[in-house]
Structure 1
Amino acid sequence: MFSMPEASELVESFPSYIPLLVTLGVVAASLLAARWYFQRKEAKFGTHNNFSRPIVMLVLTAFALVALIIALPLKDGTKDQLLGLFGLVMTGIIGLSSTTFVANAMGGFMIRSIASFRSGDFVRVGNTFGRVSARGLFHTEIQTEDRDLTTLPNLYLVTNPVTVVRNSGTIVSASVSLGYDTHQAVIEPLLLEAAKGAGLEDPFVRVMELGDFAVVYRVAGLLTEVKQMVSKRSQLHINVLNTLHDAGIEILSPNAMMQRPLKDGQKIMPVASPVSAPTPKVEDVPENRIFDKAEEAETIERLVFERDKMVKEKLELEKQLSTLEGEEKGAAEKRILFIDTEVVRIDAHREAIQGEGESKNAPAEQ
């Protein structure tokens, strides 16, 4: 039958629990301090590239468990058995999850080391296309053309081809099938005109296929402002449609005559539009709404990079102040004051961006 220990026994055994209590206090303080540090860092720099937090917290938790086992008021043989059991359990967990957990972590390290893309870049992985909105240790988040957020494991990214749109420019194209009754020399200038009207540089036209009933043309050009890729692709299709219709050219294969009876000489094309299409404002491009989170992530990452660069420059100048004299010292002090002002400006800009993002994502009040 179980009996409660007497008060005297508890008092006598209390000193043996002091190491355990001290260890508990140190472990709790360490975990809380690490959590406070990362929360402060996230508030200052954002959570878009929170790469080190999961690693540090996992390592601290493992060390905390080992320290608690060592501090238990048990015999050395029992402690050794508990440590062995803990090591065996951890080995089993790592072994069973190595294909996902560890593999994704290794994939995150590989992506960071290669640095093939960063926040804000347009990427295509399989059937997923969009802009990178967050990069983590185990996953990468992509904001699609529907403004939705797609999370891809890093293991998937390192085992599949990733297409990254270059910031210097990309090729935007549109394909169209036209009948053999219209000469290529007539079609090519019209397609070039449509591409130039969409704001593409150095446009060109290629014949992609000679089909049984139609010729497939592809018009393309260089887009230097890649952030407008979605809207420019749509504008190119609109320009191709309107330019060919205005020239009296059907965008329809002749075999449609065999599927739908038409009057002799009737063309499948709309009548001329009575009103001109409105010209979209440059600042009102749909990408600003579609990729808002990716744009925020790119801006914050760029601001953090600029801030770190200025802080390093300030530290170097402060080290050199003792060796400088006269005008050189005065110029260095002015530069330090300028850096301090810029750091404050960057911090305010970043906080404003994060505040706007939080207000957009906040649930609406009922």
Structure 2
Amino acid sequence: MMPTHLQLWLPLLVAVIFVSVVIGVLRWILLVRDSTLTAEQRLPRQFALIIVVLVGAIAIVLTLPVSESSRNQVLALMGVLISGVIAFSSTTIVANLMAGLVLRFNRPFRTGDFIQCNEFFGRVSEKGLLDTEIQTEQRHLVAIANSYLINNPVSVVRSSGTLITATVSIGYDVHHQKVTRLLEHAASNAGLEDGFVHVVELGDFSVSYRVCGLLTEVKNLITAKSNLYRNVLDSLHDGDVEIMSPNVVAQRPTDAQQRFIARADKRSAQPDDNIDSAQENVAFDKAEEAEKQEQSVLQLQQKIVTLAEASRTATDAEKPTLLRQLENTKLRLNSLLDTQAHDKAEK
């Protein structure tokens, strides 16, 4: 009688022990062994471990010493619970969690990137599991739910460069070649590369021109736009081109030869292209710091991998030096990760 009873429970006991050992070993390999992993790098490993736990739970259920109908009922209950969680996720915290996983895997943007989602615009300062934090031009911190980012189009300013544009309307009495030359000169003075001009609309009273130029240092996006607008004004006014609708003639009596052009103050003849140069440093300070920290972590991790590979192939004389460098690099990385965790806790 006793052997029969043991035979019934032995598969379950073996399955529990096997699943526990596998989960413990995988947890040590994926999470515990490498203490230098960032929260973003640990996330896919934690997700994989959750899948292993679910598979292990199903394996344990299949070895239960009960009838087949009872096992099917338990499996059905587990399926209902998982389905309920997924269904409930469409409008709850789990929705943002799943959206956060999608953003981590797809990586449509990085910390420090400029993004725009509908009316929200700013630099990414933090990427969480439930929401993404951006810093706006007014230095405000805005937390956007990850599900909102998934369900709406997100435009990302490329780190390699972006086009800065300005649109202006000029009367039909000015030839387009002259306007094009002046606007291209404005783009060049604004520090933009490969400037060009498009005619975008032929209106009833004026022609709409759009001047574009490539900005390679995207961190100065706000300043670059202001500089382009300023140089457009200066270039057109210096070229004796009036930026005003011809309808002004019908609005007030004036001499047909009179020009409505703002003249620069002779007392401040020096160029003011850098008047807004410090705006980004103030407006996006947290996003800038977050980007620097993330880059530092990646660089230290890459250095650890390089030193570890070098120490394995080094000679006996070189190995102690490489090992010391490896240990110091790990200490620096751990200190940086502790600082990041402390900053998040204080937030």
TM (norm. structure 1) is: 0.66
1:309 partner amino acid: Q
1:226 alignment counterpart = 218
Which residue in 2 is equivalent to 1:310? 303
2:278 partner letter: V
Tell me how far apart the structure 2 counterparts of residues 243 and 46 of structure 1 sit (CA, whole Å).
Answer: 50
**What amino acid is aligned across from residue 234 of structure 1 in structure 2?**
S
Identity %: 40
Pick from 100, 107, 111 the counterpart of residue 108 of structure 1.
Answer: 100
Task: State which of 92, 117, 124 in structure 2 corresponds to 1:132.
Answer: 124
DSSP-derived class of the 2:197 partner: strand
Structure 1 residues 250 and 349 mapped into 2: Cα distance closer, same or farther (>3 Å)?
A: farther
One-letter amino acid of the counterpart of residue 92, structure 2: T
Structure 2 partner of 1:271: 263
- 1:262 deviation in Å? 2.6
Task: Tell whether the 8 Å contact from 1:50 to 1:136 is kept in structure 2 after alignment.
Answer: no
- Gap change, CA 1:343 and 1:260, over 3 Å in 2: farther
Higher deviation after alignment, 138-147 or 251-260: 251-260
- Out of 163, 182, 200, the residue aligned to residue 208 of structure 1 is 200
Q: Verify: 1:290 aligned to 2:295, yes or no.
A: no
Which residue of structure 2 aligns with residue 184 of structure 1? Answer: 176
Alpha-carbon offset, residue 98 of structure 1: 3.8
Task: Quote the Cα distance in structure 1 between the aligned partners of 2:340 and 2:168.
Answer: 42
Q: 1:89 to 1:158 in 2, by over 3 A?
A: closer
The one-letter code sitting in structure 2 at the alignment partner of 1:263 is: D
Alpha-carbon distance in 2 for matches of 1:223, 1:280: 15
Q: Decide whether the 8 Å contact of 2:304 with 2:329 is kept in 1.
A: no
AA paired with 1:240?
V
Q: Which residue of 1 aligns with 2:151?
A: 159
Q: Name the CA distance, whole Å, in 2 between partners of 1:344 and 1:353.
A: 14
Q: Deviations over 1:65-86 (max 9, x none)?
A: xxxxxxxxxxxxxxxxxxxx9x
Name the aligned partner's letter for residue 299 of structure 1.
K
Deviations 1:197-223 (A, max 9, x none): 111111111111111111111111111
Superposed CA offset, 1:126-179 (max 9, x none): 111111111111111111111111111111111111111111111111111111
User: Equivalent residues in 2 for 1:333-352 (5 A)?
Assistant: 333-342=320-329
Are the equivalent residues in 1 in contact too, given 2:126–2:134 (CA < 8 A)?
yes
CA 140–246 in structure 1, closer or farther in 2 if over 3 Å, else same: same
The aligned counterpart of 1:262 is 254
Whether 1:195 aligns to 2:187 is yes
Following superposition, the deviation at residue 270 of structure 1 comes to 1.6
Alpha-carbon distance between aligned partners in 2 of 1:336 and 1:173, rounded to the nearest angstrom: 52
> Closer, same or farther in 2 for the Cα pair 1:333/1:216, shift >3 Å?
farther
| Match runs of 1:19-58 below 5 Å | 52=43
CA distance in 2 between counterparts of 1:282 and 1:276 reads 14
Residue 45 of structure 1 contacts residue 304 of structure 1 at CA under 8 Å; is this kept in 2?
no
Q: Secondary structure at the match of 1:330?
A: coil
**For the Cα contact (< 8 Å) 2:194–2:214, is it kept in 1?**
yes
Q: What SS does the aligned partner of 1:236 have?
A: helix
Q: Which residue of 2 aligns with 1:330?
A: 317
Letter of the 1:330 partner, please give it. Answer: A
2:212, 2:338 → 1: CA distance? 40
Uncovered stretches (5+) of structure 2, i.e. residues with no partner: 1-30, 51-76
Q: Residue 222 of structure 2: SS of its match in structure 1?
A: helix
Unaligned runs of 5+ in 1: 1-36, 60-84
CA shift digits 1:275-311 (9 cap, x unpaired): 2245466995311111111111111111111222223
More displaced 10-residue stretch of structure 1: 127-136 or 307-316: 307-316
Distance in 2 (alpha carbons) for counterparts of 1:161 and 1:315 = 42
